Structure 1
């Protein structure tokens, strides 16, 4: 259902509030004066009606709200989250960005997101701390190496910087990796993707939230959706723990909880939810200059700007809503990391956690409208949803405003599971990063 019209745009210009800008001296002065800082976003009353309600206050929901306002002039929008903004998958991921996927559809999609991330700090006037340090996927056998060469050629055809490098080049980029031939899993080569890197996930969430709020979008924390009202095959409103809200459009951006929300609207989705665990070490002097991923060992590692090593693996082999870590995961992860980089054996593990991943059969997202008029989904992200935050928000905003999905997300519609036109990304997303 399209909601983009002139009346929304007119109200938008009158109600827009620009984010506060400070010079370097201004920041220093405020820090010394201990004066109260303005809130990043406002607390507003929950209205009885909105043009668009977005369920889920993570990067996907906030980006959708921001681009609805910034690109289409639609500001009578509410973002509802049952907890706090960024408290779900957006706050539990390892914030790795890349676009070196396997299918042409996936490469184009994630490359657009990467370009949006590159300019996000300037657009939002908020430092999102994007470090384009490169992304390296290791191959330990001939089959993996063939897959990496396949991905490299697909990437190059889409204009993405990606190439297969040999062990000598790998050693130059990451001296601490064991590239000898007498290891259990010798490194035969790697897919090197220079534009990839890491970013601060909380900064991305806060930047989008502040920018959306400045356009007049209402951000409601601790507001749980308990039901979605429909009549005659179309959305009419939502029920929350704070009251009922009338709306013709609902966008589901709830990641691991997506099937629960879609069920409320009567929309079945081929999505399962599984935990994905990660861990972080004590901070040390920076030594890891790129992101390292091993699909064979099911592990990836990067170093933050604070010096911590962030580790992760593949999703747990069961469906669950649990977000607790396990000793089995920590032991297995540590063993695989030490096989790659023996010198880190003396580093201490500080903490571990888990997030919820919404997995689809073909490892690609489900985006766009559904058979219920006005109910849109932006779900099925598995282990790589944070990479797609900006482009998903841009595309979903376009879908809502114009009443049809743009070409960049057309392959990801829910109807592909009945037509058989799947977008198989498992070869590039089995480890998740």
Structure 2
């Protein structure tokens, strides 16, 4: 099926972006989870495969989970071929997504710096740059003077607790407005005839003869030919309803924003060693995130000492922000696998599909995994970019170990 032209079939009523329908009793595809990944999967099912008899089920409101609780960083400079492949696929889709959706996503390719504070960081960073180049990913190694040219406000003095010895730099990386991304995807899916069902909690998954046949929900049973789970931190709970055990741990992840400031921070700065990352949003607030809380939990708030450590780290790198005030903090729920890489594809239950385990990297993957999972659902066959991320790798040992690239939330 040829792609729909941008804007085709948009809602007739300008006062709302999508319908709020009651669920039908049967669909060809049911997607559990109305965040970025679920909405993107629905969008690409319609756009690339002509599959529109689809329901996206969200227990709260659309994009009210991690999609509304992340720090919007987009990059593809991962170490291993498999990871670089799917994230670069996503980044290329990001570069045309605003036009495709005919919606302002505020996608800003301002670049990302990953700082090095030790000789081992330098070696790891240079290795990653060379690996990125082999995979066709734009990447550079910068010395401290070049880091300061890209971001003049960063503290590169040699006598600090964590001196900046250099950084990897991906110029095409950047940020986007998360709410706008969700709204654009939801509008597109709705225009194609897909039902977006809010306040619909899945309470069970029907399995007959080893095959998924539908879901039980707070709004009644819904039959389906295929069921896809896109519920981030709660994926293991949902999969268990179908008798599938997942190697996931869910942890709180915190972030915060400052009061509005004049534009002073031109890029995105990340530091694994200092465990903080900082960008400046379009309106002017600083967006800062930290590493995950160590304990497993399903809460959307974390420990105060994480915020305190995060602020100390941010001020070490950016003394210029010493008098800025914190406006608000929030938390999300990240699902982490043993190899810090996602799970995408089929399960031991026929016609039950998984998309989970993204840890702290889910937002940047949104359009990429949406297109990959849509392909997998449409053909009941893993997309080539999804094959390395199959569930069986935790049995065979064919892991995709991205701990080096995922040591800090990003």
- Work out whether the TM-score is over 0.5: yes
Cα deviation for residue 17 of structure 1 reads 6.4
Q: Is the 8 A contact 1:17 1:216 kept in 2?
A: no
Cα deviation for residue 44 of structure 1 reads 1.4
The one of 95, 99, 102 equivalent to 1:122 is 99
Q: Note the alpha carbon deviations across 1:186-224, whole angstroms, 9 max, x for none.
A: 110000110110100000000000000000000000000
- Show structure 1 runs of 4+ deviating over 3 A: none
Q: Note the alpha carbon deviations across 1:213-244, whole angstroms, 9 max, x for none.
A: 00000000000000001111001111100111
Compute the TM-score of the two structures, normalised by the length of structure 2.
Answer: 0.97
Question: Corresponding residue for 2:88?
Answer: 111
Cα deviation for residue 38 of structure 1 reads 3.1
What aligned pairs does 1:344-383 form with structure 2 within 5 A after superposition? 344-383=321-360
Question: Corresponding residue for 1:100?
Answer: 77
Cα deviation for residue 251 of structure 1 reads 0.2
Question: Corresponding residue for 2:58?
Answer: 81
Q: Note the alpha carbon deviations across 1:392-433, whole angstroms, 9 max, x for none.
A: 110111011111011111000000011100001111111122
What aligned pairs does 1:202-281 form with structure 2 within 5 A after superposition? 202-281=179-258
Question: Corresponding residue for 2:312?
Answer: 335
Q: Is the 8 A contact 2:252 2:302 kept in 1?
A: no
How many pairs align?
408
Question: Corresponding residue for 2:14?
Answer: 37
Q: Mind listing any 5+ residue stretches in structure 1 that lack a counterpart?
A: 1-8, 22-35
Give the match's secondary structure for 1:328. helix
Q: Is the 8 A contact 2:77 2:84 kept in 1?
A: yes
Compute the TM-score of the two structures, normalised by the length of structure 1.
Answer: 0.92
Q: Is the 8 A contact 1:277 1:352 kept in 2?
A: yes
Question: Corresponding residue for 1:141?
Answer: 118
Give the match's secondary structure for 1:227. strand
What aligned pairs does 1:293-304 form with structure 2 within 5 A after superposition? 293-304=270-281
Give the match's secondary structure for 2:287. strand
Cα deviation for residue 49 of structure 1 reads 0.3
The one of 384, 389, 393 equivalent to 1:407 is 384
- Taking the aligned partners of 1:400 and 1:57, their CA distance within structure 2 comes to 17
Q: Is the 8 A contact 2:11 2:18 kept in 1?
A: no
For the pair 1:19 / 2:19, whether they are aligned, the reply is: no
- Taking the aligned partners of 1:60 and 1:248, their CA distance within structure 2 comes to 20
Q: Mind listing any 5+ residue stretches in structure 2 that lack a counterpart?
A: none
The one of 168, 183, 188 equivalent to 2:165 is 188
Q: Is the 8 A contact 1:359 1:380 kept in 2?
A: yes
CA-based RMSD of the aligned residues comes to: 1.6
Bigger fraction of residues in helix: 1
Higher radius of gyration, 1 or 2: 1
The one of 414, 417, 422 equivalent to 2:399 is 422
